């Protein structure tokens, strides 16, 4: 098995900067890539802000933070990934974009490099088939927010070999994650169960069963969920929720996975949640206000 020392992360957004964060704290050298310098600066700023929060809670020391930040290098080009032992794609949840990234990676990384996708719903086998090393390809689905969530879903593609799977187990252990093995079916375990629940909450809103606040309060206090499903949808991103529902609907051909028309409408409006300031709540003021 290749010794993993350097991790390449493609995508400095919500998931990518979280993955870079935990990898750097675990002692790995990290190459963080995105299409613009602005995106990289924003990603590194988020990492530093989240590490400062960990220091304030005495989860890590100030020295740990400085050392970890020093391990992260950024680039708008994939050429530095020639040094990567493991390259993790953490781009937006669209198959075509992910396939283009892996095609570009295969032109850069050496034969020893393992490839992984952080996809939350797309077929690992299908993504692997577009590369030159499907046996060294695996799904590593981190939960959001990555520094706080303990779980990592590991998904083997049809061609994934045992050495790659063993690497994934060792890697996740070093990050301090608990793993669960999911078969390569649409949305795996967590999102197969979670996102249809969110979609059903949107249907309840769409049909007038309850308001945004009443639906969220009902699930927080009635089901003991830490946050309501519509708040959670805004946190995940309504565009991501819709993409996952579309993968489920297309892949399983069951009408129970039909995306709610109201979810589609919000995404069409660009109101996709916290990351843009509006979703089922408007976050632009001092406190979130329901938008419906």
Q: Using alpha carbons, select from 69, 67, 70, 117 the residue that is nearest to residue 89.
A: 117
Q: Say whether 191 is catalytic.
A: yes
Q: Say whether 225 is catalytic.
A: no
Q: Is the pLDDT confidence value at 1 over 70?
A: no
pLDDT in tens, 150-204: 999 999 999 999 999 999 999 999 999 999 999 999 999 999 999 999 999 999 9
Rounded mean pLDDT, 215-227 = 97
Q: Where in the chain is the domain with CATH 1.10.1040.10?
A: 193-290
Please tell me whether residue 21 adopts helix, strand or coil conformation. Answer: helix
Strand residue runs (E) in the chain = 6-10, 29-33, 72-75, 86-89, 114-117, 137-142, 151-156, 178-182, 281-282, 289-290
pLDDT the model gives residue 83 = 95
Q: Which CATH number fits domain 6-182: 3.40.50.720, 3.40.50.150, 3.30.70.260, 3.40.50.300?
A: 3.40.50.720
Extract the tokens encoding 281.
Answer: 């709540």
Rounded mean pLDDT, 115-123 = 94
Q: What percent of the chain is modeled with pLDDT above 70?
A: 99
Rounded mean pLDDT, 268-278 = 96
pLDDT in tens, 6-40: 999 999 998 999 999 999 999 999 999 999 999 99
Would you list the DSSP string of 87-148? Answer: EEE---S-HHHHHHHHHHHHTTS-TT-EEEE--SSS-HHHHHHTSS-GGGEEEEEE-SSTTT
Q: Is the pLDDT confidence value at 2 over 90?
A: no
pLDDT in tens, 77-113: 999 999 999 999 999 888 999 999 999 999 999 999 9
Q: Which of 17, 141, 172, 249 is catalytic?
A: 141
Q: What's the CATH class of domain 193-290?
A: mainly alpha
Q: Using alpha carbons, select from 162, 156, 165, 159 the residue that is nearest to residue 183.
A: 156
Q: Which of 33, 50, 123, 191 is catalytic?
A: 191
Q: Where in the chain is the domain with CATH 3.40.50.720?
A: 6-182
pLDDT the model gives residue 253 = 94
pTM over 0.85: yes
Q: Is the pLDDT confidence value at 262 over 90?
A: yes
Q: Say whether 153 is catalytic.
A: yes
User: What mean pLDDT value characterizes the chain?
Assistant: 96
pLDDT the model gives residue 93 = 86
Q: Which of 153, 172, 199, 249 is catalytic?
A: 153
Q: Say whether 62 is catalytic.
A: no
Q: What percent of the chain is modeled with pLDDT above 90?
A: 97
Q: Is the pLDDT confidence value at 255 over 90?
A: yes
pLDDT the model gives residue 115 = 98
């Amino acid at each position: 098995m290749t010794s993993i020392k350097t991790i390449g992360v493609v995508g400095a957004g919500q998931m990518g900067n979280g993955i870079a964060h935990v990898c750097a704290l675990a002692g790995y050298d990290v190459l963080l890539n995105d299409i613009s310098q602005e995106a990289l600066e924003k990603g590194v700023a988020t990492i530093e802000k989240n590490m400062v929060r960990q220091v304030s809670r005495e989860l890590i020391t100030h020295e740990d933070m400085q050392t970890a930040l020093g391990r992260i290098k950024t680039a708008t080009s994939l050429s530095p990934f020639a040094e990567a032992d493991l390259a993790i794609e953490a781009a937006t949840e669209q198959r075509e974009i992910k396939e283009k990234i892996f095609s570009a990676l295969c032109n850069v990384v050496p034969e020893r490099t393992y490839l992984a996708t952080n996809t939350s719903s797309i077929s690992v086998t299908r993504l692997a088939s577009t590369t030159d090393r499907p046996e060294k390809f695996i799904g590593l689905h981190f939960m959001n927010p990555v520094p706080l969530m303990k779980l990592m879903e590991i998904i083997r593609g049809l061609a994934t070999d045992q050495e790659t799977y063993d690497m994934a187990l060792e890697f996740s252990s070093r990050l301090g994650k608990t793993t669960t093995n999911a078969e390569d079916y649409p949305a795996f375990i967590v999102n197969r169960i979670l996102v249809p629940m969110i979609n059903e909450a949107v249907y309840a809103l769409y049909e007038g069963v309850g308001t945004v606040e009443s639906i969220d309060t009902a699930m927080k206090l009635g089901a003991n969920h830490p946050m309501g499903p519509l708040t959670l949808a805004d946190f995940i991103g309504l565009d991501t929720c819709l993409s996952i529902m579309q993968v489920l609907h297309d892949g399983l051909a069951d009408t129970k996975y039909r995306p709610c028309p109201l979810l589609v409408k919000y995404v069409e409006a660009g109101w996709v949640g916290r990351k843009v300031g509006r979703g089922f709540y408007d976050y632009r003021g001092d406190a979130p206000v329901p938008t419906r």
